[in-house]
Amino acid sequence: MEDKLLNVNDLSVGFESDDGMFMAVRDMGFAVRKGETVCIVGESGCGKSVTSLAIMRLLAEPPAHVSGEVLFEGKDLLKLPMDEMRGIRGNQIAMIFQEPMTSLNPVFTCGFQISEALIAHQGMTKAQARERSIELMRMVGIPEPEKRFDAYPHELSGGMRQRVMISMALACEPKLLIDDEPTTALDVTIQAQIMELLRDLKRRLGMALILITHDMGIVAQMAEWVIVMYAGEEVERADVRTIFSNPLHPYTEGLLESIPRLDSDTNKELPVIEGTVPGMYDMPKGCKFAPRCKRCMERCLNEAPPLVTLDDGHAVRCFLASEGREDSDA
């Protein structure tokens, strides 16, 4: 397990419904090393948030059914008693949610909410927690943090709320931060500032980061390792350089083509991958991407390709890339 901080093995999540079980995430397997940034990319509905909520044990079971292993420093989080899990959550692993208002309580001041974490997890006194909270608010770029300490979430702009949420997540200096598209709703300048901030904090605190996004520009800037998801499954994973220089899955290629380029004709429309992610009732029998794939073969319609590991941990779920290779790890 050497320098691995987190090892996710065969993680699957299904949701019970009146029509049976809907598998939102199937057999995810990836590792995060100390201090490393892993980006999970894929379009809306592919299972990014469900994966991170399952790691954090934040899905209500039932309706959710979670199986597999989530080893954090060798301990399986999925088997921990809830009180022990609560001790790890917010302390060793923190999460920034997609929607800031889900983790900010509207009836308490921002300062109170940051201090609460420090008092609960680090045993600080109220005065110490206030001082540290202000320091954290300053660190994430909140101007006049002494004043903002007493502000309620609704009194702040979207960007400032995100920063409050980030300072809450960082309050206990977690070893792992899971960041679920915290900047999608923000304008690009603030988004860039927050990414810069996360990079800086990673350098200073040696924190590992799982960054969930559908923006390949952010991936290029931030990731060391990339996981591409489609319809609940990993379709490709590799180090960031390989993903950009030698993408092998047609879906990854499509994602890369959709990055806006500064040097291209701005009037030209961006290429989009045609079609939509299959829903729970129209899940294809073979490859889930087949109905949208430009290079779909007969075989892809009937047979689901396994995830096959090629060189240096580069893994792909596509017959075109894995043909002739024996070392399937699915």
Ligand X SMILES: Nc1ncnc2c1ncn2[C@@H]1O[C@H](COP(=O)(O)OP(=O)(O)OP(=O)(O)O)[C@@H](O)[C@H]1O
Binding flag, residue 183, ligand X (CB under 6 A) = no
Binding flag, residue 24, ligand X (CB under 6 A) = yes
The minimum distance between CB 280 and ligand X, in angstroms, equals: 7
Binding mask 193-232 for ligand X (x = CB under 6 A): ---------------------x------------------
Q: What is the C-alpha radius of gyration for the chain, rounded to an integer number of angstroms? A: 21
Closer Cβ to Mg ion, 37 or 49, answer by number: 49
Closer Cβ to ligand X, 48 or 121, answer by number: 48
Q: Residue 48 to residues 11, 231, 234, 309, 315: CA-CA distances in angstroms?
A: 12, 10, 10, 21, 18
Among 49, 113, 115, 191, binds ligand X (CB under 6 A): 49
Binding flag, residue 291, ligand X (CB under 6 A) = no
Among 12, 15, 58, 141, binds ligand X (CB under 6 A): 15
The minimum distance between CB 46 and Mg ion, in angstroms, equals: 9
Which of Mg ion, ligand X, none does 50 bind, CB closer than 5 to 8 A by kind?
ligand X
The minimum distance between CB 56 and Mg ion, in angstroms, equals: 13
Binding flag, residue 213, Mg ion (CB under 5 A) = no
The minimum distance between CB 281 and ligand X, in angstroms, equals: 11
Binding flag, residue 49, Mg ion (CB under 5 A) = yes
Binding flag, residue 278, ligand X (CB under 6 A) = no
Binding flag, residue 252, Mg ion (CB under 5 A) = no
Phi-psi map region of 45: left, alpha, beta (phi>0 left; psi -120 to 50 alpha): left
Binding flag, residue 41, ligand X (CB under 6 A) = no
Nearest Cα to 74, choosing from 38, 31, 40?
A: 31
Binding flag, residue 47, ligand X (CB under 6 A) = yes
Binding flag, residue 52, Mg ion (CB under 5 A) = no
# of chain residues touching ligand X (CB under 6 A) = 13
Question: How far apart are the C-alpha atoms of 147 and 110, rounded to whole Å?
Answer: 11
- Both tokens of residue 325? 């290779």
The minimum distance between CB 209 and Mg ion, in angstroms, equals: 16
**Which residues form the interface with ligand X (CB under 6 A)?**
15, 24, 42, 44-50, 63, 98, 214
